[in-house]
Chain A
Amino acid sequence: QKEVEQNSGPLSVPEGAIASLNCTYSDRVSQSFFWYRQYSGKSPELIMSIYSNGDKEDGRFTAQLNKASQYVSLLIRDSQPSDSATYLCAVDRDDKIIFGKGTRLHILP
């Protein structure tokens, strides 16, 4: 099993709808979880960090963490064309942050 797994996509979502991005991880002792957005040709930028089970909301973004099931998700409400990007899930393991390969999200105008 890969350490951090994401569906590569592309995930196509109509403008205004909810985009749901999922990530599973293999190390049960991981404590820190991150979602990054990366536009083509640009560096990753932090969207959300989450450390405790449950939901964390920030504007149109909600991160959900379930440590028992070892998954973390990102919901984007009222999706906008500017949300079209690759979303990277990252999880801490030992002394590293491990990144998934990312999910390409395409918001359809």
Chain B
Amino acid sequence: GAGVSQSPSNKVTEKGKDVELRCDPISGHTALYWYRQSLGQGLEFLIYFQGNSAPDKSGLPSDRFSAERTGGSVSTLTIQRTQQEDSAVYLCASSLVPPGSGEDTQYFGPGTRLTVL
């Protein structure tokens, strides 16, 4: 596709439910990133994939968060037993090459706004 796409655009869920967020990166981009942005705050790094592997999972805030990427393309971020503090915009980005490789510009998707009631 022309850009990074994410679905759903909005998700309202009840506390304790599981949610799955999807990211479809730009075709051919090997690196994929998930971030979280709370209202009025900066970007909080969650996880980075190079191909299908995640060399850095340090940003995941708890074991309720997990992510996978299959076929070097689509990625899903799963939040189990959601809590109200999980409410935020979840942004996905992709880049052609890994970070620090030069030309590693990240292109962002439109985000998924998650609201946990």
Question: Which A residues have a C-beta under 8 Å from some C-beta of B?
Answer: 30-32, 34, 42-46, 49, 51, 88, 90, 92, 94-102
Given the interface pairs A32-B104, A34-B105, the reply to whether A95 lies near B99 with Cβ below 8 Å is yes
Question: Which B residues have a C-beta under 8 Å from some C-beta of A?
Answer: 33, 35, 41-43, 45, 48, 50, 55-56, 59, 91, 98-111
Q: Who on chain A is nearest to B6 by CB?
A: A43
Q: Who on chain A is nearest to B99 by CB?
A: A92
Q: How many A-B residue pairs have CB under 8 A?
A: 61
A24 to chain B, nearest CB (A): 15
Q: Are B45's CB and A96's CB within 8 A?
A: yes
A101 to chain B, nearest CB (A): 4
Residue from A43, A45, A95 in contact with B56 in the complex, judged by beta carbons closer than 8 Å: A95
Bound-complex Cα distance A32 to B41 (A): 23
Bound-complex Cα distance A84 to B50 (A): 34
Q: Are B56's CB and A94's CB within 8 A?
A: yes
The 8 closest A-B pairs by CB, nearest first: A101-B42, A43-B108, A99-B43, A92-B100, A92-B99, A95-B56, A97-B99, A44-B108
Q: Are B110's CB and A96's CB within 8 A?
A: no
Q: Are B56's CB and A100's CB within 8 A?
A: no
Given the interface pairs A32-B104, A43-B108, A51-B102, the reply to whether A95 lies near B55 with Cβ below 8 Å is yes
User: Which residues on the B side are within 8 Å of A34 (C-beta)?
Assistant: 105-106
Given the interface pairs A45-B108, A92-B99, A92-B104, the reply to whether A99 lies near B56 with Cβ below 8 Å is no
Bound-complex Cα distance A34 to B105 (A): 8
Bound-complex Cα distance A43 to B108 (A): 6
User: Which residues on the B side are within 8 Å of A51 (C-beta)?
Assistant: 102
Bound-complex Cα distance A32 to B98 (A): 11
User: Which residues on the A side are within 8 Å of B103 (C-beta)?
Assistant: 49
Residue from A49, A88, A95 in contact with B98 in the complex, judged by beta carbons closer than 8 Å: A95
Given the interface pairs A43-B110, A92-B104, the reply to whether A100 lies near B55 with Cβ below 8 Å is no
